[in-house]
Chains A and B, each alone.
Chain A
Amino acid sequence: MTLLQRSDWYDVARDTNWTPSFVAEAELFPSDISDPFDMPKAAWAEYDEPYKVSYAEYVKVQREKDAGVYAVNTAAARTRFMEEAGQRWHSVLKLHFGAVCLAESSSQISEGRMARFGRAPGMRNMATFGLLDEIRHGQAQLYFAHESLRYSPQFNFAHKLLGTQEWGAIMTRSTLDDVFLGRDAVTTAIMLTFAFETGFTNMQFIGLAGDAAEAGDTSFSNLISSIQTDESRHAQIGAPLLKLMVKNGYKAEAQKAVDIGFWRTYRFFTLLTGTVIDYFMPLEKRTSSFKEFMEEWIVDQFERTLLDMGLDLPWYWDFFLEDINSFHHGMQIGWWLYRDTVWFDVPAGVSPAEREWLEAKYPGWNDSWGRLWDQIGENIRAGKTDLTVPKTLPVVCSFNNLPLVTTPGKSWDPQGQMLTYKGKKYYFQSHVEKWIFEQDPERYAAHQTLIDQFLAGKIQPPNYEGALNYMGLSPVERGKDAENYAWAFAGREPRKMAAE
């Protein structure tokens, strides 16, 4: 029997915008969860997904992808790579799995929302496959993380993290809730599939795959780059939507969603990808700096696509281009100083050779961030490691939950980064966070950062140890310096190392 080509039947088969007879159209697709802009039917009729796939094709291709991922994993298990990879690489994996595994579950809900409440049949089709994709991503990464439990109980945070009040978990949940869990189908399509997936997941799932291949972790490299092939397809949900919004007079609404989604996503990946690529990766295995990855994937690739949709660059673009030189360096110091508040051992990544690399990639690093590490190194060499562990919690951004940082030696204007709303003071990392808050204060005002929870009396006893327990970190799970401070003594006369 000769099968029809997909293109012979697809347009007819996908046309499922039937006229409802049991309920009104508005009840079938409530604006609040479907299309808050109430774009006309004629506009929606223009939606044409560019990356079409049938269910039969989908199943065949996905089966092939999974067969490849698990076959490589089985083969790699025989190489004893994990046993010999070293703590730094283990930390890369622990951080990735903790932040990503259950975030994939959030994406399932988002795809499900678009599959049900998308106004265009093609959008619903794409999102149905997207939902199946995200189930695959969650299951596969949990499987890989579970296999690694034998190396450290910290791998358990692949499953545990997002159910805790650990500060990184609060940050992750807050971002995911805002960008794709607590949005209507249209805004989700823009913020999740366009800003998050077309833009930033490339860096974590392809850029990091390149570094993983260099590091010899063929299994992890193969896993995450395979995942990104799904993203590459279902991320195309957003593009046709943006085009029809621009064409039909909804450019301002689309632009605002991109501007908000992009910035929230950027902060998330700065913490997740920026620190890993520039500090966690063993020096000899690095392929590019975080800034270079950003220039490849975001500045060159994403920015060009954004403009081709008929949109403009986000209004804060100049500030963004400056920020990629600095913010993640502050986050790295945060990871390291507050290492006992995270679920992996933190590599400092600032041995003399690494500092040379950082200075070459970020001219001026030694005179700014390097000065802080100078003092930390001196304290370690003097045996005063207790001085490198803060005894209190930091001031964090009321919006993005991350410690407020600014480049050492640069002027800072905190006045412009605060506001009072209904009697409460809010502090922001930058004017961009403040701008997003101002767009919808009621959406964000009640959010409680870890510090807010501390001040509200939720953390008992109200001290640092109480906070560690509140964050769900038992003593064996709390992070340490990943190399037992060896980096502070590199290139110097052998001295007794302080054990942590």
Chain B
Amino acid sequence: MSEAATRHEGPSNNMVGPVLRAGELADVIVEAIRRDNPDDDVNVIDKRAYLRVQVDGECVVRRATVEELLRRPFLMQEIEPILASFAGQIEATERYIRFFLDNRR
């Protein structure tokens, strides 16, 4: 079977998560994601200008965790200036942002 035919079945990966513009806040968010998803492998691909963070199926980052790391109050929308893209769907609330898939494969 050709690669193209295999592809037509759709991708098998369930990786979701943010693509962050590189910088200090991005490093903090990555660390928060590691803490907020303790049972999952958190894969970070460094493309210099951006970091692609990948977690299988669901990836959560919580405001409280970011505040703990920054040692200052943090509003979830402060993440927007570095949130260049993301894989999966998003649920953005005041307490957390969640990247997820409705249908895992």
Contact = CB atoms under 8 A, between A and B. Distances in A.
Q: Do A and B bind each other?
A: yes
Given A61-B77, A209-B50, A225 B84 contact: yes
Contact of B5 (A5, A57, A202, A318): A318
B71 interface: no
Nearest to B50: A206
Interface residues of B, number: 39
Contacts of A310: 102-103
A246 B10 CA distance: 18
Contacts of A233: 80, 83
A228 interface: yes
Nearest to A51: B92
Contact of A229 (B3, B8, B84, B89): B84
Nearest to B18: A232
A317 B7 CA distance: 8
A164 to B, nearest CB: 32
B85 A308 contact: no
Contacts of A68: 81
A321 B10 contact: no
Contacts of B101: 304, 308
Interface stretch (A210-218, A327-335, A348-356): A210-218
B48 interface: yes
A223 B22 CA distance: 13
Q: How large is the interface on A (under 10, 10 to 19, 20 to 34, 35 or more residues)?
A: 35 or more
A405 B88 CA distance: 35
Nearest to B14: A304
Interface in A32-73: 50-53, 57, 60-61, 64-65, 68
Given A7-B93, A213-B49, A228 B85 contact: yes
A128 interface: no
A65 B3 contact: no
Given A206-B50, A209-B50, A318-B4, A61 B92 contact: no
Interface stretch (A152-160, A295-303, A439-447): A295-303
Contacts of A287: 47-48
A26 interface: no
B92 A214 contact: no
Interface string A237-269: 001000000000000000000000000000000
Contact of B48 (A7, A214, A301, A304): A214
Nearest to B105: A307
Interface string B72-105: 0001011011111111111111100000011101
Nearest to B21: A225
A172 interface: no
Contacts of A51: 90, 92
Interface string A335-359: 0000000000000000000000000
Interface string B7-49: 1101101110001010000000000000000000000000111
B90 A7 contact: no
B81 A64 contact: yes
A270 interface: no
B102 A308 contact: yes
Given A206-B84, A304-B101, A225 B49 contact: yes
A232 B87 CA distance: 11
A490 interface: no
B84 A232 contact: yes
A305 interface: yes
A236 interface: yes
Contacts of A304: 10-11, 13-15, 87-88, 101
Interface in A1-32: 5-7
A300 B12 CA distance: 9
8 contacts: A50-B89, A50-B91, A51-B90, A61-B80, A229-B81, A229-B82, A304-B101, A317-B4
Given A61-B78, A64-B81, 13 more contacts: A5-B94, A7-B94, A51-B90, A68-B81, A213-B48, A228-B85, A229-B21, A232-B80, A232-B84, A296-B52, A310-B103, A317-B4, A318-B7
